[in-house]
Chains A and B, each alone.
Chain A
Amino acid sequence: MLRDITLGQYYPADSVIHKLDPRVKLSAAMIYIISLFCCKGIAAFFAATVFLITVIKLSKVPFQFMVKGLKAIVVLMLLTAVFNLFLTPGKPLVSFLIFTITEEGLKNAVFMAVRLTYLILGTSVMTLTTTPNGLTDGLEKSLSPLNKIGVPVHVIAMIMSIALRFIPILIEETDKIMKAQMARGADFETGNLIRKVKNMIPLLVPLFVSAFRRADELAMAMEARCYNGGEGRTKMKPLRYQAKDRIAYLILFGYFAAVIVCRIFLPWPA
């Protein structure tokens, strides 16, 4: 039950996309999101679809893993679609009782649903093909100019990577504590709200105790190995752009240009 959280879950595979520099993937995700909101007309959406499908195919991640992330936003998507469908003013298409569906409404609803779906799929490709460490490394390097204006980029990146690292550990820990208490007759399911909250105490106390203990131990282990912040710290595997990363950037900009061109010259149905 607790394991169904997929956001930020890495899927190991040996693919071109996996091997790209995390910075490329971060920019790609960003540019893709921007491009989705620049899309206008069938032609632009066609370009976005082709781009997404190609990347998914190249990533070698089974499609079912991508779709998992979509389940979480089904409700949101339905709501947006319904609101767009009924509340957009314009040329009436059908009307019954007090509801009117307009041509513009239908168009908006469909395009919005497609945008949201692509947005989730696009970001999932990035998180599924990049290790959490890779992501934070990429962020740290991309944001490092901010160091000059006093933003502690290294510290933020370190906090992020530790937090990401600990999510699965804490989930597993919760699972184990729950089982140990259930073995002693604890009940986490039945009863009214107040009872349920009270029943959580045997779960939450050990969980917090262990989280604090782990934090303490980690801090100690880091200090024992002479960690003292980012100052003068070098990386074992520094990020360096390679030929494939440059090609990826070229393709990315090509795609973005295509979307813009479609938007300007083929904005049908606008």
Chain B
Amino acid sequence: MSIILDKVNYVYGEGTAYQTQALSDINLELKDGQFIGIIGHTGSGKSTLIQHLNGLIKATSGAIYFNGQDIYDEDFDLRELRNRVGLVFQYPEHQLFETTIFDDVCFGPKNQGLSKGEAGLRAFEALRSVGMPESLYYQSPFDLSGGQKRRTAIAGVLAMKPEVLILDEPTAGLDPAGRDEILDLIAAMHKERGMTVILVSHSMEDVAKYVERIIVMNQGRVMYDDAPKEVFRHYKELESVGLAAPQVTYLMHELKERGLNVNTEATTVLEAYESLLGVLRKGRA
């Protein structure tokens, strides 16, 4: 089971003076259970791409198949698709509206047709998992800080228990501890529930640490689509489109140039640490 994009094109404002081609000929297969990272410079089409995956935007041309079914078919149920593919938007302010945080998180489950009690349970669980202190549950969502709003917004989608979870820059506006907390939570859910996760991010460190596959977007096209190691091997090309490799990759390349035989493919701090340790031990022996 998977989501398949076949030659997807998208043009904003077609037929106006401000026409922009946001996506060009995107072909992708997003397999079940994968943890995928999407990176790309500002305006490269990441947000546009992910909004196609649950049918919020209709491709100008091309087809999208969800578990083999064409989502643009007349009799395809788009609301059902949105129940199964959860999307957390880039700006959480766009979705908070209820009088209390708890009610706001209940909105999704209620729309799924769950009873009040069940929706409440789901909301409770989701809020706890994103680390919201219980004392805030019955406050207005508009009085929260940016990071707390984001957690609430993420909980609002998690409460729907989607099979595919898409997050558009979920860590923007969070402090380092909060960022790790949220990403660890997502990684845990990916592992335990086998949920497919698609993470849009500007942080190479985050992407390198968590995902198993990276899609690099550049000017509306897929530039690379591969495992992190393979993608970051092209760090020079990434720089030319305004991206970069994780800091440790640079460090490892530098060390190698200075004559230390370390593994330049290390993309996380842990990998770098192990490789360095190995080299140093060997040196001493």
A202–B97 Cα distance when bound, in Å, is 6
Check: B148 CB closer than 8 A to any chain A CB.
no
What is the minimal beta-carbon distance from A110 to any residue of chain B, in angstroms?
Answer: 31
Q: Is there contact, CB below 8 Å, between B111 and A185?
A: yes
Q: Which residues A192-226 have CB closer than 8 A to chain B?
A: 201-203, 205-206, 209-210
What is the minimal beta-carbon distance from A267 to any residue of chain B, in angstroms?
Answer: 41
Would you give 6 A-B contacts (Cβ < 8 Å), ordered by A? A183-B86, A184-B82, A184-B108, A184-B156, A185-B108, A205-B97
- Report chain A residues within 8 Å CB of B97: 181, 201-203, 205-206, 209
Residue of B nearest to A65 (CB): B17
Check: A245 CB closer than 8 A to any chain B CB.
no
A173–B79 Cα distance when bound, in Å, is 22
Residue of B nearest to A201 (CB): B97
- Report chain A residues within 8 Å CB of B54: 183
Instruction: Give A residues with C-beta under 8 Å from B.
Output: 3, 11-12, 64-65, 173, 176-177, 179-187, 201-203, 205-206, 209-210
Instruction: Give B residues with C-beta under 8 Å from A.
Output: 13, 15-17, 51, 54, 56-57, 79, 82-83, 86-87, 89, 91, 93-98, 107-108, 111-112, 142, 156-157, 160
- Report chain B residues within 8 Å CB of A11: 17
Residue of A nearest to B91 (CB): A176
- Report chain B residues within 8 Å CB of A205: 97-98
Q: Is there contact, CB below 8 Å, between A182 and B142?
A: no
- Report chain B residues within 8 Å CB of A203: 97
Q: Is there contact, CB below 8 Å, between A210 and B93?
A: yes
- Interface centre among A176, A183, A185, A202, by most chain B C-beta atoms within 10 angstroms, is A183
What is the minimal beta-carbon distance from A71 to any residue of chain B, in angstroms?
Answer: 13
Residue of B nearest to A181 (CB): B95
Q: Is there contact, CB below 8 Å, between B156 and A206?
A: no
Q: Is there contact, CB below 8 Å, between B93 and A206?
A: yes
Known: A176-B91, A177-B95, A206-B93. A187 touches B111 (CB 8 A): yes
- Interface centre among A179, A184, A187, by most chain B C-beta atoms within 10 angstroms, is A184
